[in-house]
Amino acid sequence: MTAPLVQLRSICKTFGDHQTLRDIDLTVENGEFLTLLGPSGCGKTTLLRILAGFVTPDTGHVLLNGNEITNLPPEKRPINMVFQNYALFPHMNVFDNVAFGLRCQNIDENEVAKRVEDALAMVRLSTFSHRKPINLSGGQQQRVAIARAVINRPELLLLDEPLSALDYSLRKTMRLELKHLQRELGITFLFITHDQEEALSMSDRIAIINNGQIEQVDTARKVYEEPKTLFTAQFIGEANIFNTLVDEASERAITVSIENKLFTLQNTKNHRKGDLISVIIRPEDINVWDQGEITDSTEMLPGVIEEVIYKGSTVDLMVQLPSGFRLAATEFFNEDDPNLYYDVGEKVWVEWTLGWEVTIPHE
Ligand code: ATP
């Protein structure tokens, strides 16, 4: 069996008295697009710099293709990096910027020309080869930086928030382009962002990092639908969180009280009677009903509309429950439920599809 491309084992790093990385274990498979997602200061860049060889971990091991590279200098690693500010050479034109790495290796000029042309064609900048970076848009500079980084065919490309300097619509376009490029090149991408939408839309897997520790590594869908910690649930998307005690528990089901009403939920986490748990429900899994529409409210909670935000294809509602809990609900326009016009102060019933909630032990 071939080893994963990257294995980080028990990596710790402290700067001064601040422990930046705590016992990080992470595996990156060959050809994967893996994103490190977490708030500012959580240690993402430090982890990337350890992989690139710019920072040495205090303890732990970095393996590439099964071989230890923890103390290998950066230039000896088949790894390249794209920085947030692109770090292009301002005095060189696009061609020379992209050719730089090859020329450092004294590669024949004919070969350099061919490979630079191929790289520029790949990022759709063939006609820009004589321009200086200052005469390019942010998105074009970004593509030059990527062409320059992939021209040596690194085994691993590290990208440190490469889209953060672009405006929103260009960022959305570049997300798709980067993803296509990664597939085309077959190079493994390790990408940093603190933008959850970016992470969800591009990644094969996402590693959620909080305060120097990995909270969860999973596919985008799993981190969103099956968060393992409260931090993950709150960091990715919006979440309604009810903290409650388990009243009854069997192998399959638990009974909990939410807003003084008993609900029977699936016992997917081996909860026991008396456990304090968090019940997490996404806004889009909540249904809101006009009180006149409902004849059986057994599994529903009463509420009052506090806020209505129209968003075109959806309406975001804030519903106040009897305890004062503010429940976020996202309602979609569709044929089955055309009545999405609510007034502030209107009394409603709310429910969620039982089974779609996630329960985790209270932290
Ligand atoms: P951001 O999203 O803001 O870039 P990050 O998640 O990438 O943040 P890091 O840049 O890895 O976070 O920094 C994590 C912590 O380590 C921060 O508190 C930072 O100040 C500290 N740190 C990083 N590098 C050094 C250094 N060379 N010397 C001292 N402290 C450092």
How far is ligand 1, taken at its centre, from the CA of residue 172, in Å? 27
Residue 274 is predicted with a pLDDT of 95
Contact 360, 280 (CB under 8 A): yes
pTM: 0.87
Which pLDDT tens digit goes with each residue over 309-326? Answer: 988 778 999 999 999 999
Q: Two tokens at 36?
A: 């490190």
Contact 337, 331 (CB under 8 A): yes
Range of lowest pLDDT (41-50, 82-91, 180-189, 337-346) = 337-346
How far is ligand 1, taken at its centre, from the CA of residue 16, in Å? 12
- Of 104 and 12, more confident: 12
**Ligand 1 atom closest to 45 (CA):** 7
Contact 47, 21 (CB under 8 A): yes
Residue 69 is predicted with a pLDDT of 96
| Annotated domain spans of the chain | 6-234, 240-361
Residue 248 is predicted with a pLDDT of 95
Count the alpha carbons within 13 Å of 185 in the hemisphere toward its beta carbon.
27
**CA–CA dist 62, 64 (Å, integer):** 7
Predicted confidence (pLDDT) at residue 161 exceeds the cutoff of 80:
yes
Residue 115 is predicted with a pLDDT of 92
Which pLDDT tens digit goes with each residue over 191-239? Answer: 999 888 899 999 999 999 999 999 999 999 999 999 999 999 999 989 9
Contact 339, 292 (CB under 8 A): no
- Planar angle of CA 85, 87, 91, nearest 5 degrees: 130
Contact 122, 177 (CB under 8 A): no
Fold topology of 6-234:
Rossmann fold (3.40.50)
Q: What are phi and psi of 184, to 5 degrees?
A: -65, -45
Q: Two tokens at 17?
A: 């008295």
Predicted confidence (pLDDT) at residue 175 exceeds the cutoff of 80:
yes
Architecture category of domain 240-361 in CATH? Beta Barrel (2.40)
Residue 338 is predicted with a pLDDT of 60
- Of 21 and 196, more confident: 21
Predicted confidence (pLDDT) at residue 256 exceeds the cutoff of 80:
yes
The helix-helix angle for 168-185 and 109-122 (nearest 10°) equals: 130
Nearest to 164 by CA among 86, 237, 50, 235: 86
Strands 156-160 and 79-82: parallel
Is the CA virtual torsion 65, 69, 72, 77 positive or negative?
positive
Which pLDDT tens digit goes with each residue over 333-353? Answer: 766 666 668 899 999 999 998
Strands 253-258 and 240-249: antiparallel
Is the CA virtual torsion 90, 91, 95, 99 positive or negative?
negative
**Interval 276-292 mean pLDDT:** 93
- Of 95 and 1, more confident: 95
Helix (H) or strand (E) holding 35: strand 33-37
How far is ligand 1, taken at its centre, from the CA of residue 32, in Å? 25
**Interval 144-150 mean pLDDT:** 90
* Sole residue written with tokens 């008295």: 17
**CA–CA dist 61, 279 (Å, integer):** 37
Predicted confidence (pLDDT) at residue 70 exceeds the cutoff of 90:
yes
Confidence of residue 294 (pLDDT cuts 50, 70, 90): confident
Residue 132 is predicted with a pLDDT of 93
CB 193 near ligand 1, within 6 Å: no
Question: Residue 119 to residues 95, 316, 337: CA-CA distances in angstroms?
Answer: 10, 44, 50
Residue 276 is predicted with a pLDDT of 96
**CA–CA dist 40, 116 (Å, integer):** 35
**What is the C-alpha end-to-end distance of the chain, expressed in Å?**
38
Which pLDDT tens digit goes with each residue over 92-134? Answer: 999 999 999 889 888 899 999 999 998 898 888 889 999 999 9
Range of lowest pLDDT (3-12, 73-82, 109-118, 175-184) = 175-184
Mean pLDDT, the chain, integer: 91
Residue 286 is predicted with a pLDDT of 95
Whose alpha carbon is nearest atom 23 of ligand 1?
46
Which of 14, 15, 35, 163 has most ligand 1 atoms within 8 Å of CB, for mutation? 15
